């Protein structure tokens, strides 16, 4: 079968083996994985158009292992699942340390002449029943559809280097990688079937892998302009990994494109605190009055004194200096409460930090 990454207008059918929800149940009894052929149409992105430079996947171990072999197991699985002459899955032929710097990985991609693809390296730990997996993406993140989304100062971001621990089930890693291939080949909903299956199949306690699955699901929704679904997926990723700066940032992009500038500011600023290189000109202080409907109450006197509130550390009732419309958001950007009153009852809220939008501004308070 040929997998042509041709003109962006050409639709091609990919047929890949995808583990279904029955996989975990059946494999426990029969010792093999039940796979279903799953087909769908994809539209090639700029990163994968050149048939003369195949999509190359190089797989390596951390070091020589006597028993378990991460690379051989994964190569066999990928080769069984992918049968396209424009995708090449091969052993790297050398070992990569799990602390390998980016420059070393870049040197490998030059040495191996990898124009587009992935360098995957890892190790099976039979004692802990875990796989430590690293994925270095080559010329994918910059050339994909995602960085085109957003404006000049708030563009969506991909992740170039992935790392996660996962229970010792190479089939789940295989499914996740096929999701990545489809994501970079097309974007939109193409890869979500694989990311959702990978997350469903994972039964371990390591939340980072599940967070990554939801991050890419959010990216696919962002590409297909389903902004509310994107924010929902990013919020799930953030719940699982509260310091996932790129999930916070991309959620801000989705909110901005959905004309929700207040929530965009919340996500952008939280991402910036975790990752200073993620900078945005949108701050709560710079939000304009026109961006904060319905705070612009008709007939409001522009010369009146600004409304304030107290206390900032509150256990039961928060008071405004005069009646006003308000909205309360938690740190994940979810609306907790809204209304028009001179008092705000917080007794039903969980302890923690909240954002209070009122009187054309956004301020924080702490529920004790």
Model confidence at 350: pLDDT above 90: yes
For residue 19, pLDDT over 50 is answered with no
Which residue ranges does the chain devote to CATH 2.60.40? 292-367
pLDDT of residue 300: 52
Indicate if the pLDDT at residue 214 is higher than 60. Answer: yes
Q: Would you say residue 348 has pLDDT above 90?
A: yes
* Local structure of residue 265 (DSSP, 8 states): H
Instruction: Write down the pLDDT at residue 116.
Output: 87
Which residue bears the tokens 């091969």? 90
Mean pLDDT (whole number) for 142-150: 74
% residues pLDDT > 90 (the chain): 26
In this structure, the strands spanning 361-367 and 352-358 are antiparallel
Average pLDDT for residues 110-136, to the nearest whole number?
86
pLDDT-based confidence at residue 43 (cuts at 50, 70, 90) = very low
pLDDT at 212 over 70: yes
Residue 90, number of CB atoms within 10 A of its CB: 15
Reduce the DSSP state of residue 364 to 3 states and report it. Answer: strand
User: CATH 1.25.40.10 region(s) of the chain?
Assistant: 205-287
> How does DSSP assign 145-213, residue by residue?
SGGGSB-SSSB----SEEEEEEES-HHHHHHHHHHHHHHHHT-TTTTHHHHHHHHHH--SS-HHHHHHH
Which CATH number is associated with domain 292-367?
A: 2.60.40
CATH class for the region spanning 205-287 = mainly alpha
Per the omega criterion (within 30 degrees of 0), is the bond before 311 cis? yes
pLDDT the model gives residue 231: 92
pLDDT cut 70: percent of the chain above it:
73
Of 162, 158, 240, 223, the C-alpha closest to 187 is 223
Sign of the torsion angle spanned by Cα atoms 177, 180, 184, 187: positive
Q: Indicate whether 290 pLDDT > 50.
A: no
Tell which phi-psi region holds residue 73, choosing left (phi > 0), alpha (psi between -120 and 50) or beta: alpha
Preceding amide of 294 cis, omega within 30: yes
Model confidence band, residue 303 (pLDDT cutoffs 50, 70, 90): low
Other C-beta atoms lying within 10 Å of the C-beta of residue 281:
8
The pLDDT-based confidence of 167 (bands split at 50, 70, 90) is confident
Per-residue pLDDT at 182: 85
């Amino acid at each position: 079968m040929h997998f042509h990454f041709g003109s962006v207008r050409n639709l091609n059918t990919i047929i890949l083996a995808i583990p279904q929800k029955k996989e975990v149940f059946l494999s426990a009894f029969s010792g093999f994985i039940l796979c279903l052929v799953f087909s769908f149409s994809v539209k090639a992105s700029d990163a994968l158009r050149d048939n003369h430079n195949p999509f190359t996947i190089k797989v390596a171990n951390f070091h020589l292992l006597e028993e378990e072999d991460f690379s051989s197991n994964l190569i066999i699985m990928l080769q069984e699942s992918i049968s396209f002459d424009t995708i090449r899955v091969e052993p790297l032929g050398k070992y990569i340390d799990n602390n390998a710097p980016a420059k070393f990985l870049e040197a490998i991609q030059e040495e191996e002449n990898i124009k587009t693809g992935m360098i995957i390296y890892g190790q099976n730990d039979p004692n802990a029943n875990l796989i430590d997996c690293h994925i270095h993406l080559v010329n994918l993140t910059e050339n994909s559809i995602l960085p085109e989304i957003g404006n000049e100062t708030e563009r969506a971001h991909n992740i170039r280097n992935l790392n996660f621990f996962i229970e010792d089930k190479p089939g789940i890693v295989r499914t996740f990688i096929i999701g990545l291939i489809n994501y970079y080949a097309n974007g939109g909903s193409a890869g979500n079937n694989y990311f959702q299956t990978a997350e469903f199949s994972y039964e371990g306690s390591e939340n980072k892998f599940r967070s990554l699955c939801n991050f890419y699901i959010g990216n696919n929704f962002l590409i297909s302009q389903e902004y509310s679904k994107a924010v929902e997926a990013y919020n799930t990723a953030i719940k699982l990994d509260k310091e996932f700066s790129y999930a916070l940032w991309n959620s801000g992009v989705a909110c901005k494109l959905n004309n929700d500038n207040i929530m965009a500011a919340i996500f952008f600023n939280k991402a910036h605190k975790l990752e200073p290189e993620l900078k945005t000109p949108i701050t709560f202080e710079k939000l304009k009055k026109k961006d904060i409907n319905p705070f612009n109450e008709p007939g409001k006197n522009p010369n009146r004194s600004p409304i304030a509130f107290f206390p900032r550390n509150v256990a039961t009732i928060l008071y405004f200096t005069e009646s006003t419309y308000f909205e309360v958001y938690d740190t994940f950007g979810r609306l907790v409460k809204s209304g028009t009153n001179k008092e705000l009852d917080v007794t039903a809220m969980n302890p923690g930090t909240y954002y209070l939008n009122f009187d054309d501004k956004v301020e924080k308070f702490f529920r004790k």
